Structure 1
Amino acid sequence: MALTDTAIRTAKPRDKLYRLADAQGLCLEVTTAGGKLWRLRYRFEGKAKMLGLGAYPAVTLAQARERRDAARKLLAQDIDPSAHKQQEKAAAAAQVLTLEVLAREWYDYNQPRWAPATASKALQYLESDIFPVIGKRPAAEVQRPELVDLVRKIERREAFNVARKVRQWLSQIFRFGLAKGVVPGNPATDLDVVAAHAPRTRHHPHVSEGELPELLEKLDAAQCDITSKIAIRLLLLTAVRPGELRLAPWDEFDLESATWTIPAARMKARRPHIVPLPRQAVVLLRTLHELTGTYPLAFPGRNDRSRPMSENTVNKALSTMGYEGRQTGHGFRHLLSTSLNTRGYNRDWIERQLAHGDQDSIRDTYNHAHYLDQRRVMMQAWADAIDALCANANVICIGRSA
């Protein structure tokens, strides 16, 4: 017998879930909690299936029958109503899924596998260059010309490295969406074909050792905050990468033993790195601790102390000092390598100080914890040589071959 409104309304819950049949596969499912759910029982390709049609009383008996009839029309066309319903849901979700929502999901998926510096840079570019322009656009509707215009704006301000990264990450975001089935294609492919040609630049430029006294004198007189000045001096004294320095938490430093231990997760080569600290570096860090020691990060951001100092801070300070195109934060690594190799220090000591891996993986693993004592002597001699240069003293050959 067909169901009636009265029978539905008066149906009471039982100890077990039960169903009241209507006609042509439609039934009302009454749960033990008293819920009343419309179901359509049908067969597709020889398999018994069940389709949810909504809950009573939000969906009336008449509406449930209409939904049943619509589903049976699909069956007559050899279309599975359950699969069709899922496809409609996916299409509706894709219409409201904005690029920002998709990009943040992509970021959250990849962030655990990235080095902190990479994760910080990716989020910065997303929030400053991508989201303000197309973040609110439905991801499935974004077209290639929009992405070309976005990248062109970045290129016009001559931020060619940013443009390259943005092209790369846009392609990855849409590939991620394509794999999830929420975008119809990847409009960010081949954006490099129309990329502006960046002028040739000297990679990681650096001054000569003889120019250091003038650079440090200008640094002392520069109109930048003291934390930036300390950061520049520490890059010179330790040869770490700028990202390793600006993201460093205080708990990595042991000033009593004059040692800085950077965990593998923060290193480019994903291998722990021990940095011996010359006396001059320890003095700088003690001074810095008086300024930022109450924060987790040694170099917190100026506006948001929970975030690291901007990656542009060091290079901007050097640029305002007149060293644009002549010296970068990363360039101090090249300066130290050149100077110490010229002095005849053991190449393995220098490479380990720079946290470069050995091409021989077995030898690299064996040497992982080696050379700390030798590097400590070498880096102290380097720091003393800089002091001697700045004092306009006669600098003797302090290096020894090994």
Structure 2
Amino acid sequence: MKLTDRTIKALRPKDHAYKKADGKGLTLLVNADGGKHWRFRYRFHGREKMLSLGSFPDVSLSLARQKRDEMRRVLALGLDPSVERKKERLRAAFASSDTFEQMASAYIAKRQAEGAAPRTLKKQKTFLGALRADIGAIPISALTSEQLLAALQKHETRGKRTLANEARAFASRVLQLAIAQGRASRNVADDLRGALIAPLPGGHAAITCPKELGRLLACIRAYEGETVTSLCLEILAHVFVRPSELREARWDEFDLEKGLWRIPAIRTKLRREHIVPLSPQVIRLLKELRRHTGNQAFIAASSVKPDQPISDMTFNKALRSLGFDRRHHVAHGFRRTASTLLNEQGYNRDWIERQLAHVERNKVRGAYNAAEYLDGRRRMMCEWSSYLGELLDEAQKAKRKQ
């Protein structure tokens, strides 16, 4: 006889547990303590098995029958309901533990294992930090485009458009990894392409007026802060490498006799060795710098922690103290300064691009020669240093006349 809500409520405990059948494998177990628990009994490959479907009244009679019918449909497909339930629980546990923050951390660890540059890893950690509070705890499989957009727009409304756009791209890469690992089915970050306000145009702030450049060089020469900082800034103006490449440079990378600096692939953006010809002026500056840090591994060794390079904010802090804020000129801007003025002076564009370590993508993937155009680049770099010297002299003379 099938059960009813009235008969179930009327069941009283006995000295021992007993069962009441509802049909099609569904039974109600009444324990001696009065607890009433639903059970589904079935046979799979000749073996009798049992599944718990919850307790009455939390699971009503109608809901227990629905669960029984679901289990019978699984059986009809030739599957074991007990095994399928375990799989579902594992999938649910897997999904709940795979939060955005955990997947993002896994992505960053992957990039580190692949040899990504420290500055790249630092930027990715910044993007994770920008998203952590809003979506860090959300399961990666449950993240929606609306949730991600709201997190990004918080930065956008604060005027941090570049951060918002780059954080979206970072989230897209994290989700792509999650999809590849079967932890997400959709890249909601890609749905947001074009949804954010584009960053303001323009690259790193840079002085491109020769007279202003001369004034900047004179200010750097007169800098009253750390000598290592002023020497490195002056060197940076001459060699126009990426600031991190100079800041993290080691003395064993330099051959002052041959006038060459070989930046190892591990420290370059494109993971290719980059050769920098050193002018006589730069060699003199390096020899002066060696008097201060020659006993350390890094040419820009920190005075506080000599076994480490100076902070990545040191150069720009020094420039700000000299009156050049981020809207006027930043350390990375020396690259744009050199590119603009060298092109205006008619130097071979291939020499300039190669010296900036700008390499066509097909060359990155294929044949690559670190010494490409080296003779021409050496002449250009020597003439560039002489040009900077002239600008510096003019600026210092103008200042003395004031």
Q: TM-score, normalised by structure 1?
A: 0.67
Letter of the structure 1 residue corresponding to residue 174 of structure 2: I
Per the alignment, do residues 95 and 301 of structure 1 end up closer, same or farther by CA in structure 2, a change over 3 Å counting? farther
Structure 2: stretches of 5+ with no match in the other structure: 1-42, 53-67, 397-402
- Aligned residue for 2:40? none
Letter of the structure 2 residue corresponding to residue 189 of structure 1: D
Instruction: Find the residue that maps to 1:190 and give its secondary structure.
Output: helix
Letter of the structure 2 residue corresponding to residue 153 of structure 1: K
- Aligned residue for 2:334? 332
Once the 2 structures are TM-superposed, how far is the Cα of residue 177 of structure 1 from its aligned partner? 1.7
Pairing 1:160–2:161 present: yes
Per the alignment, do residues 210 and 137 of structure 1 end up closer, same or farther by CA in structure 2, a change over 3 Å counting? same
Distance 2:305 2:320 in 1: 24
1:381 to 374, 380, 383: 383
- Aligned residue for 1:57? none
Once the 2 structures are TM-superposed, how far is the Cα of residue 104 of structure 1 from its aligned partner? 1.2
Give the aligned CA root-mean-square deviation in angstroms: 4.1
Distance 1:306 1:145 in 2: 46
Instruction: Find the residue that maps to 1:328 and give its secondary structure.
Output: coil
> After superposition, what is the alpha-carbon deviation per residue over 1:290-319, rounded to whole angstroms, capped at 9, x for unaligned?
555566544467988777655554345434
- Aligned residue for 1:23? none
Distance 2:338 2:111 in 1: 34
Once the 2 structures are TM-superposed, how far is the Cα of residue 165 of structure 1 from its aligned partner? 1.1
Instruction: Find the residue that maps to 2:125 and give its secondary structure.
Output: helix
Would you say the 8 A contact 2:204–2:332 is kept in 1? no
> After superposition, what is the alpha-carbon deviation per residue over 1:135-175, rounded to whole angstroms, capped at 9, x for unaligned?
34443444434322322232244332222110101122122
Per the alignment, do residues 76 and 42 of structure 1 end up closer, same or farther by CA in structure 2, a change over 3 Å counting? closer
Distance 2:296 2:137 in 1: 35
Instruction: Find the residue that maps to 1:332 and give its secondary structure.
Output: helix
Per the alignment, do residues 296 and 157 of structure 1 end up closer, same or farther by CA in structure 2, a change over 3 Å counting? farther
Would you say the 8 A contact 2:205–2:326 is kept in 1? no
1:70 to 39, 51, 61: 51
Distance 1:142 1:304 in 2: 42
> After superposition, what is the alpha-carbon deviation per residue over 1:97-132, rounded to whole angstroms, capped at 9, x for unaligned?
332221111122233446415633433314532335
Would you say the 8 A contact 1:115–1:267 is kept in 2? no
- Residues 233-312 of structure 1: pairs in structure 2 closer than 5 A: 233-289=234-290, 296-299=297-300, 311-312=312-313
Distance 2:275 2:315 in 1: 23
Distance 1:206 1:286 in 2: 27
Would you say the 8 A contact 2:131–2:151 is kept in 1? yes
Per the alignment, do residues 391 and 222 of structure 1 end up closer, same or farther by CA in structure 2, a change over 3 Å counting? closer
Greater Rg, structure 1 or structure 2? 2
> After superposition, what is the alpha-carbon deviation per residue over 1:262-288, rounded to whole angstroms, capped at 9, x for unaligned?
233433444321111223333443454
Would you say the 8 A contact 1:209–1:335 is kept in 2? no
Instruction: Find the residue that maps to 1:109 and give its secondary structure.
Output: helix
- Greater alpha carbon shift after TM alignment, 172-181 vs 138-147: 138-147
Letter of the structure 2 residue corresponding to residue 76 of structure 1: L
Distance 2:141 2:240 in 1: 46
Once the 2 structures are TM-superposed, how far is the Cα of residue 227 of structure 1 from its aligned partner? 4.3
Letter of the structure 2 residue corresponding to residue 381 of structure 1: E
Per the alignment, do residues 379 and 149 of structure 1 end up closer, same or farther by CA in structure 2, a change over 3 Å counting? same
Pairing 1:190–2:171 present: no
Q: Percent identity?
A: 34
Pairing 1:135–2:136 present: yes
- Residues 2-401 of structure 1: pairs in structure 2 closer than 5 A: 68-70=49-51, 76-77=75-76, 78-80=78-80, 81-82=82-83, 84-113=85-114, 115-116=116-117, 119-126=120-127, 128-183=129-184, 185-201=186-202, 204-221=205-222, 225-289=226-290, 296-299=297-300, 311-320=312-321, 321-357=323-359, 365=367, 368-392=370-394
Per the alignment, do residues 145 and 343 of structure 1 end up closer, same or farther by CA in structure 2, a change over 3 Å counting? closer
Distance 1:360 1:145 in 2: 38
Per the alignment, do residues 335 and 184 of structure 1 end up closer, same or farther by CA in structure 2, a change over 3 Å counting? closer
> After superposition, what is the alpha-carbon deviation per residue over 1:163-194, rounded to whole angstroms, capped at 9, x for unaligned?
21101011221222233232454443333433
Per the alignment, do residues 216 and 42 of structure 1 end up closer, same or farther by CA in structure 2, a change over 3 Å counting? same
Per the alignment, do residues 125 and 391 of structure 1 end up closer, same or farther by CA in structure 2, a change over 3 Å counting? same
- Aligned residue for 1:36? none
Would you say the 8 A contact 1:278–1:383 is kept in 2? yes
Distance 2:101 2:389 in 1: 50
- Aligned residue for 1:28? none
> After superposition, what is the alpha-carbon deviation per residue over 1:232-280, rounded to whole angstroms, capped at 9, x for unaligned?
2222111212343334344323344332112334334443211112233
Would you say the 8 A contact 1:117–1:243 is kept in 2? no
Instruction: Find the residue that maps to 1:274 and give its secondary structure.
Output: strand
Would you say the 8 A contact 2:101–2:128 is kept in 1? no
Distance 1:147 1:128 in 2: 14
Instruction: Find the residue that maps to 1:69 and give its secondary structure.
Output: strand
> After superposition, what is the alpha-carbon deviation per residue over 1:45-87, rounded to whole angstroms, capped at 9, x for unaligned?
xxxxxxxxxxxxxxxxxxxx99x43399676343245454334
Distance 2:389 2:84 in 1: 74
Per the alignment, do residues 184 and 392 of structure 1 end up closer, same or farther by CA in structure 2, a change over 3 Å counting? closer
Distance 1:165 1:260 in 2: 32
Q: TM-score, normalised by structure 2?
A: 0.67
Letter of the structure 2 residue corresponding to residue 351 of structure 1: E
Would you say the 8 A contact 2:259–2:279 is kept in 1? yes
Would you say the 8 A contact 2:241–2:335 is kept in 1? yes
